[in-house]
């Protein structure tokens, strides 16, 4: 016989059904985290509890399917604080130089999501918050989920590889925001840059690297011609000074759209998020 649900639980489920990943609430309390504990007057420690009252609000980062499940099955959701940042930081986020932050189109101007801090709250508490829609359409939902994936799913590249691609990162960051630059147009036509190691990352003898430039669809590219994009990007890749054991594979650069790549090609490559190509997009409502 199914378990009877009380009226209050039914009301909570109805309110939870209105929430989705990326929704947020403002002025709903302090952010709680743990720091070094300090002795109290009675000699006990305080458990290291610290309350941050400077946060603007909280955004839900749990997947929507987890948010709407019954509280007795999944009692909590994960949230990240909303924080106010200045115009300089906003530009850095747009350029991909601050992947710790994410945009929500519905949030107030100058307010972003801080992915570095997470907190669990009960669904009963969440149901009492004043919900605001963070993503206005499916595209924005996918981009916010992608920003979460980029931050929490980043691969830990070996330091020798990171040192090697520093010049490429600098070249992309330098030209990305320059509208009239042909290289700027080329890199803005690329959705993401991925790398394929032709040996194990832990191999100490030789790891040839191939880059995959995943292009935007033709109508979204500033340069439609693949050969032109290849011609502009290749010198920057070819100029990389590699640190052993890494080197450039003989087939060092491949340009493709998502539709061109097989699932195996995509899954067997690694997103290179140390550049402006994996940036948290500013949304237009």
Q: List, for residues 201-245, the tens digit of each pLDDT value.
A: 999 999 999 999 999 999 989 999 999 999 999 999 999 999 999
Residue 108 falls in which region: left (phi positive, over 0), alpha (psi -120 to 50) or beta: beta
CA distance 197 to 207: 6
Q: Which of 121-135, 143-157, 162-176 shows the highest mean pLDDT?
A: 121-135
In this prediction, residue 83 carries a pLDDT of: 96
Q: How do residues 178-209 score in pLDDT, each as one tens digit?
A: 667 888 889 889 888 899 999 999 999 999 99
Asked whether the CA dihedral 251, 195, 231, 192 is positive or negative, the reply is positive
Cα 48 to Cα 38, 114, 177: the distances in Å are: 7, 21, 43
Q: What are the residues whose beta carbons fall under 8 Å from the beta carbon of 197, sequence distance 6 or more?
A: 207, 208, 209, 270
Q: How do residues 65-88 score in pLDDT, each as one tens digit?
A: 999 999 989 999 999 999 999 998
**Cα-flanking dihedrals φ and ψ of residue 199, to 5°?**
-170, 170
In this prediction, residue 124 carries a pLDDT of: 93
In this prediction, residue 179 carries a pLDDT of: 65
Q: Is it the case that residue 2 has pLDDT exceeding 60?
A: no
In this prediction, residue 183 carries a pLDDT of: 87
Whether the full predicted model's pTM is greater than 0.85, yes or no, is no
Of 275, 270, 280, nearest to 100 (Cα)? 280
Q: What is the mean pLDDT of residues 109-133?
A: 95
Of 170, 167, 165, nearest to 247 (Cα)? 165
Q: Is it the case that residue 44 has pLDDT exceeding 50?
A: yes
In this prediction, residue 50 carries a pLDDT of: 82
| Sheet bearing 207-215, strands edge to edge | 246-257, 207-215, 190-197, 270-271
Q: Is it the case that residue 18 has pLDDT exceeding 90?
A: yes
Identify the residue with better confidence: 279 or 134.
Answer: 134
């Amino acid at each position: 016989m199914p378990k009877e649900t009380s009226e209050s639980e039914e009301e909570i489920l109805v309110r939870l059904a209105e929430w989705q990943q990326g929704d947020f609430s403002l002025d709903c309390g302090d952010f709680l985290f743990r720091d070094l504990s300090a002795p109290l007057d009675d000699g006990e420690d305080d458990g290291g509890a610290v309350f941050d009252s400077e946060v603007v609000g909280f955004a839900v980062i749990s997947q929507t399917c987890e948010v709407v499940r019954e509280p007795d099955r999944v009692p909590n959701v994960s949230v990240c604080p909303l924080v106010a940042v200045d115009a300089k930081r906003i530009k850095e986020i747009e350029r991909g130089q601050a992947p710790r932050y994410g945009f929500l189109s519905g949030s107030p101007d100058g307010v972003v999501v801080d992915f570095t801090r997470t907190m669990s709250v009960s669904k009963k508490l969440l149901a009492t918050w004043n919900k605001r829609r963070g993503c206005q359409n499916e595209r924005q939902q996918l981009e916010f989920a992608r920003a979460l994936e980029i931050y929490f799913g980043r691969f830990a590249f070996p330091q020798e590889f990171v040192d090697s691609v520093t010049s490429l990162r600098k070249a992309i960051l330098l030209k990305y925001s320059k509208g009239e630059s042909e290289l700027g147009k080329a890199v803005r036509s690329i959705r993401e840059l991925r790398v394929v190691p032709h040996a194990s990352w832990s191999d100490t003898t030789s790891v040839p690297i191939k880059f995959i430039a995943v292009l935007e669809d033709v109508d979204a590219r500033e340069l439609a011609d693949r050969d032109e994009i290849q011609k502009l990007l290749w010198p920057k890749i070819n100029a990389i000074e590699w640190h052993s054991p890494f080197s450039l594979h003989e087939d060092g650069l491949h340009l493709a759209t998502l539709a061109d790549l097989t699932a195996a090609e995509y899954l067997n490559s690694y997103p290179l998020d140390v550049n402006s190509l994996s940036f948290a997009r500013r949304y237009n409502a």
